Structures are given as structure tokens and as C-alpha cells.
Structure 1
């Protein structure tokens, strides 16, 4: 698209001179003899750059600049005048002018300034576009679903995002905990600062402290230079600690100190470094049970669990399943057809299957179907464990292994869910009695109810 420039000057000769000069550089140039006429142009169509005189009848170039920044903030402005003063230059730059040059000027000087003004304008526009893309991707559009459970997650994220409170996201693997963390970050005042994620279970214990806090040269064998840790990388932004339950007890104590004091030291360092970082942690484990077992610090748990967010399992929100399939088809299949994407038979099989791997498993399933060339998701393109899951119907649980195999975890989940229901029915809904019938603690019983979406917190 051709670059559009508007030249504004009450002197016809100057307007035409600048128009000829800029058209010779390949720009599309239009003219206005005063600020009022220029504003009419700007209201009708966008311009990449306005080159304006300062001294004009009616509104001055400085006043025009202020109006341009109100109605077309992405338009670059270059001011030209024969009466240059330091005060005017300062005012123009404060109002957002790219530059301010005095007459008489050199032709090459104008060419260079116009080119640089347009380059800066392009960078600003691209930066805003990328931020909009990131914001859209990681706002609530990254989390798909209109179920009651997901609406509750959206509402909670919206309420918490503006605060600096620590957040603990709980949920099974594959439920979208990192997406929820990104939604928190990109809807918060920290959105323009870094979002840094680390899986606490994926880094060797010996390296975890250096990974989090960094180290100084010579702190240990192999430390040949200073290294910035994740806390420093996330300065001003959000640090997402995934699988926090995997963090060793020794490091839990050091993390607790950072949360309390808002400062830390690099490994081998002598001075403290301030930590302006929001912590969002996540776990697929029951941290309260880990606290009881002594593998997770109780004081750290309460520091992290200021605002708990629970990500529902996919089996708890069946109404979101087909919209998720359609979303993933659009993601992986450029040939996605209009109309039906999932056949009724496939939809029935998907709704019956409990998806122990949750949304991640569903995404992999859809990608597999696309790779195999299926324009529509049919029952035939589903993996065997989904097609054959009828053999683990909770109402007809069998104890023999079918010839085609089965998903053992899904089978056990089906049995567990059925026994939970029977225990609640036998105890007339009294959960402590139901827990006793199953030989487990009340807390463990509540955890299993939550696992299957059966805990109404009553």
C-alpha cells in the first residue's frame, strides 16, 4: 500500500514544492492550505505522515499537532517553520511531533527526516499490532469454552488480574494451567513486561537455584560468568512456576524468603536484588496432601494460595468439547470446511470418553485426524481407546482385557467414580460417612470428588 502524506501550508509555492519533492520519492501526496482543511482530510481517510507549517491563519501547526494526536494518534507529524524557538520546539516534541526543522532547509534534510519519521511510525504501528495479537491470543481467547465452570474461571481471572496477589492454579495435566497464567498476565498492568515460565519438575535439583536466582562468576565449578536468573528475567512482569509441588524443600524455603522480603541473592552473590515480580504457581498435585505428608511447606502453600484458581477437567465440561474440536480443526486444518466438522457418531464417542489427558489429549487427537487427511472428524479416525471406551462404561464395568486393548487409567477412573457415587448414596450425602465407607480421610475424599467435578463445596 502506497505511503500517504498530507502537506499543510498557507503558502501555495511551499505546498507545491514539498508535494513535488515527496512525490519524487514515491509517496502519495495531498495538500491542505490550513489546519481546518487538513482536519477534514484526516477525518475522511488515514495518512502516514503530516508535514505542516507552524505559522498559519486560524489554528497554528502546534494546535493542529494536538488535534492530530487526538483523532489519528498513529500519524507521524513533521513541523516546518521560519520562526524556530526553543520553546516551540520543546512544546512540539512534548505533543508528539517527530521533529521540528526551520526554514530555509536543505532538500536532503527533508528527505531524511521524512524517511525516518515514516520508519518510526511503522515501528509504532507494528508494535501495537503485535501487542494486540499477544493480548488477543492470551486474553480469554486462549481459553476456549462457555461452560459454567469456564465462565467462573474467566470471572476470577478478570477480578484478580489487576491485583498483585499471588495466584495458585490447580488442575489435572492438560487442563490449560499455563494458558490461565498467561491470561492473568496479559490482562494485568504487567502485560508489557516479561512473562517467564519454568517447569519446576523439568530442571535438575542441583541447577534449580541457579536457574531461579542466577549466579555469579566462580560461584561453583562451571560458573565461568555471571548469569541472570528467572526472577531477574521476569522483572516487572510475571514468573510462572509450573508443577510447584516438584520444588525441593530447600528451595521452597528460599522461595518463601523471596515472597516475604521481595528480594533475593544470586548463587555466590553478596548483595541483595529487589524482586518486582508477580508469582503465579501451578500444580496437578494436591498440595494440601503434600503439606500433610511433609513434602511441601505449609507456610509457602499459604503464601502461594492467596487466590486459588481451579481449572476444570474436560470431562467436567462436556458442553465445551465440540467447540474445542472446532477450534483445533481451525488451528491445524487450513482446509476446514463450512458446516459440520464432527459427525454425530464421533461426537457421541468423544462425549462418552473421559479424556484423562484433558484438553491437551483432545488437541493431539484432532491434530492426528488432520494429519491423516480427514476433512471431517469421523468415528473411524478416532484412536482405538476412544472408539472402544464403551467397554469401561461405569454402568457395565468389565474385568477382562478386550482384544483391542484399553485405557487402564480411564478404566480405573470409571470404577473410582462409580464407587464415590455409591458411597454418597449409602451415606445419604454425608461426605464424612462416605469417606469412612471407602477407608479414606475426609480431605482425600473431597480431593477425589473435585477430581471428577462432583464437589459442590457443600
Structure 2
């Protein structure tokens, strides 16, 4: 990642006085500057050197800045370009942005303005490269594209999937709402030898016992009023494959007894039938409640729990794997058509805000927040202020009791910086690197928030 305090700059301008003055000013601020008086000189220099950003005058003899930008980009594809323009050429500068320039600056321009623009261009390019790296990490760390992460807790889940995917033994997946229990179930199926067989899902929440039995086991013609023809149940539909039963804690005790028989020997009887049917199905059940506690209260059969809990998968909540949040964000942006079309990326401060939040709704909530923030953002960058409007009403910092008033953006940033400093033993340089900001910026924030 490029250090924004020491940027390698290619400055191209045919005005010798302006070129020398700006170059010297940027050199005094710690940046590395190579200069060229013409487009042809610039192309020769660009061929030999490596740069973080190019600063090109729009109007030059022989070749204008837009043409030069395309020539340089042919050799350095991802090099950000800032265009320098005079008062009368602003429409052309806007055209340059539309064809790929990062921004334009109108002459005469202050050194502070130039430096801020160059830093922002490099910062954006850093983020784009980091997003690319994260996408590659996602591909490397897991063969299951929707189970994203490289933290210890999620890698344990992936390892368990790998060890048990080909077994026919029942699986019980437990975890909070929004953690991705169905994704784990699908991974167990698609990674197995049953991948070409049916994967059938049933959510028990809100279903009456009669309807639930009918869904699972089917019925024959005349089994009940309105049963004008026979219907196969989901066990029969899933034969040879996988049946995923979600929210199994909501299943009625009578239906649990019927399910137990199928789990034990693969035999069931459709409603209204005297004929038994036999199937071979891998049963995967999921719950967001403690089933052992449900056994204690008489709401769940102990024998069924023991039969289901042969392979136990505990999906970790997002608050226990904050290091996976950048990967999850990258995964979401890659899969979002709107994000791809806009070229959306997150500013470092926005990512820090996401890492500081408690996420009671887990990954599902994270994706919902990202969807709303993208709608609120005015351009390619999702800034912390875009997230603030979404998170402010619900903000709960991890490890703390809910505050009486929602935390402000400044409060959450202070909290996150404090935590990072504690974790890194007060190492300011290390924390600034983690947060994606330079050391001086971090020190200013520490001073403003009274952090020692």
C-alpha cells in the first residue's frame, strides 16, 4: 500500500516556471517528483519509472493531457491521473474525468489543494488494490464462495464442512439469526458427492403442525378435505440428496416424533396412506435457539436432539470475527450489480466504523447496511458519513451495554481508535497502518479526542 506521505509523482507541464515551483513545493513536503516538459518526454520517463499518480497539464503542444493520459494508461493501467487546467478549458477537464481521470485542478492552484487531491487519488487507488487483494483472498481461503472469511472461527467451520461433507450422518447447525446457517448447509451439500442431487429447504417458523407434516411427508388422494390428488412430501423430493430443516426449534412435538422415525431408519408414511416409504436423505437441521434449553422446558424431544446432533456446527456471530468484515464487504460489493456499476469502494474511516459496530443481526445486517449506504453515497466512495445515517439509530459498540443515547460518528471513531491502541500496545505507527491513515492524521485525531 502506497504511503500517502511520500507519493511518487509524475508532473508534466510545458510551463517551466509553474512546473519548477510546484515540483519544489511538493519535494519540500516529502514527496518524490519527476518532471517532464512535453508529452514525449513524459512517455520516456514513464517507461523507465514507477509512479503512484500522474499530474498532467491539459493543454500542451503535440498532444493534450487526455491523449497523454491514455498513452500512459496503456503502460500503467491503474495509474491515477489528475488533470491541470486553465480557466477556459474546464469542459475539457470534465471530459477527462469522464474518460478516466481521477480529478482536475484549475490553475493557479494552491500547493495544499494539489497535495490533498494527489493524496486522495492515491488513497482511492490503495482501496481499489486492497479490494482486489481481498477478492483473491476469498478465492484462496475457501472453496465455498458464499462462506467468506479467514478468521479462526470461520476457518474451523470450513474445516468441519470439509471433514464431514460426504457423510450421511445428520447435522445440527446452531448460530444466531443472520450468521449464515443456510450457507453452511448448502456448502455441506455442494461440496459432497450428493451435489448433483436435490437440495430441499423447509423453514418451520410459523407453520402449523398439520401443514408441516404435509410438507415433510406428503399425502395421498382423499387424505383430508380438499386433497383431490396425491402430493409428494419434501423427504421424497429430496431422496438421494439433502433436506435442510431451518428453525427446527419451532417444530411441534407431534411432528418431531414423526421426524425422529425418519432420522432413525429413513422410513415415513404419507398422510392418509397405509404404505410406508423409504428414503435416503441427509438431514441438516438449524436453530438459532438453544435446543438443550428447549429440552429442559419440554419444547423439544431429547431423543431427536441426540439423533440430529451427530455433526455439530456452531456458526460464529460477526462480532467475534471483526477481521472478516473487510472480506465480507468486498464479497458484497463484488456481488452487487449497483456497486459494480458505480465502482463503489469504502473509505478507511467507513471500514473502521463497520468494525466497531456490534452487529446483532450479523452478516445479514451488514449486507443490509451496505445496501443502504450505497444508495446514500453520492459517488464512488462510501464515506463514514454515509454509514453514520444508517448506523446511528442502532449503534451498539461491541462489549458495551447499550448507551442511553445513540453514539455519534465521533464517539464511535474515538472508541475504535482507543481499542486499536490498546490491542497494539500503544504503537501509533502500527495502528495508523491498520486504520489506513497516516501517522500525523492519527495523532491529530488522538489529540482531538483526548486519547493518550
TM-score (norm 1): 0.55
Residue in structure 2 matched with residue 223 of structure 1 by the alignment: 227
CA-atom RMSD in angstroms: 2.6
CA distance in 1, matches of 2:246, 2:171: 12
Instruction: Provide the secondary structure at the position in 1 that maps to 2:202.
Output: strand
**Which residues of 2 match residues 17-166 of structure 1 at below 5 A?**
140-166=144-170
Across the two proteins, how many residue pairs are aligned to each other? Answer: 267
CA distance in 2, matches of 1:309, 1:396: 29
Residue in structure 1 matched with residue 385 of structure 2 by the alignment: 380
- Deviation of 1:276 after TM superposition, in Å, equals 0.8
Contact 1:337–1:375 (Cα < 8 Å) also in 2: no
Residue in structure 2 matched with residue 275 of structure 1 by the alignment: 279
Residue in structure 1 matched with residue 252 of structure 2 by the alignment: 248
CA distance in 1, matches of 2:177, 2:291: 15
Matched, 1:292 2:296: yes
Contact 1:168–1:282 (Cα < 8 Å) also in 2: yes
Instruction: Provide the secondary structure at the position in 2 that maps to 1:309.
Output: strand
Contact 1:199–1:241 (Cα < 8 Å) also in 2: yes
Residue in structure 1 matched with residue 313 of structure 2 by the alignment: 309
CA distance in 2, matches of 1:233, 1:209: 14
Per-residue CA shift, 1:154-178, capped at 9, x if unaligned? Answer: 1000000011111100000110100
CA distance in 2, matches of 1:177, 1:306: 17
Residue in structure 2 matched with residue 194 of structure 1 by the alignment: 198
- Deviation of 1:347 after TM superposition, in Å, equals 1.4
- Deviation of 1:301 after TM superposition, in Å, equals 0.1
CA distance in 2, matches of 1:271, 1:172: 39
**Which residues of 2 match residues 326-337 of structure 1 at below 5 A?**
326-333=330-337, 336=340
Moved more, 266-275 or 326-335: 326-335
Residue in structure 2 matched with residue 204 of structure 1 by the alignment: 208
Residue in structure 2 matched with residue 236 of structure 1 by the alignment: 240
Instruction: Provide the secondary structure at the position in 2 that maps to 1:382.
Output: helix
Unmatched segments (≥5 aa) in structure 2: 1-139, 409-452
Which of the numbers 166, 172, 182 marks the counterpart of 1:168?
Answer: 172
Matched, 1:178 2:209: no
Instruction: Provide the secondary structure at the position in 1 that maps to 2:178.
Output: coil
**Max radius of gyration: which structure?**
1
- Deviation of 1:315 after TM superposition, in Å, equals 0.6
Instruction: Provide the secondary structure at the position in 1 that maps to 2:221.
Output: coil
- Deviation of 1:386 after TM superposition, in Å, equals 2.1
- Deviation of 1:189 after TM superposition, in Å, equals 1.2
Contact 1:173–1:284 (Cα < 8 Å) also in 2: yes
Contact 1:143–1:179 (Cα < 8 Å) also in 2: yes
CA distance in 2, matches of 1:325, 1:273: 46
Per-residue CA shift, 1:31-77, capped at 9, x if unaligned? Answer: xxxxxxxxxxxxxxxxxxxxxxxxxxxxxxxxxxxxxxxxxxxxxxx
Q: 1:383 to 1:265 in 2, by over 3 A?
A: farther
Residue in structure 1 matched with residue 374 of structure 2 by the alignment: 370
Which structure is higher in RCO with an 8 Å CA cutoff and minimum separation 6?
2
- Deviation of 1:143 after TM superposition, in Å, equals 0.5
TM-score (norm 2): 0.55
Instruction: Provide the secondary structure at the position in 1 that maps to 2:334.
Output: helix
Q: 1:227 to 1:390 in 2, by over 3 A?
A: closer
Q: 1:180 to 1:391 in 2, by over 3 A?
A: closer
Q: 1:245 to 1:268 in 2, by over 3 A?
A: same
CA distance in 1, matches of 2:242, 2:367: 27
- Deviation of 1:370 after TM superposition, in Å, equals 2.8
Contact 2:241–2:282 (Cα < 8 Å) also in 1: yes
Unmatched segments (≥5 aa) in structure 1: 1-135, 405-458
Q: 1:303 to 1:391 in 2, by over 3 A?
A: closer
Matched, 1:346 2:353: no
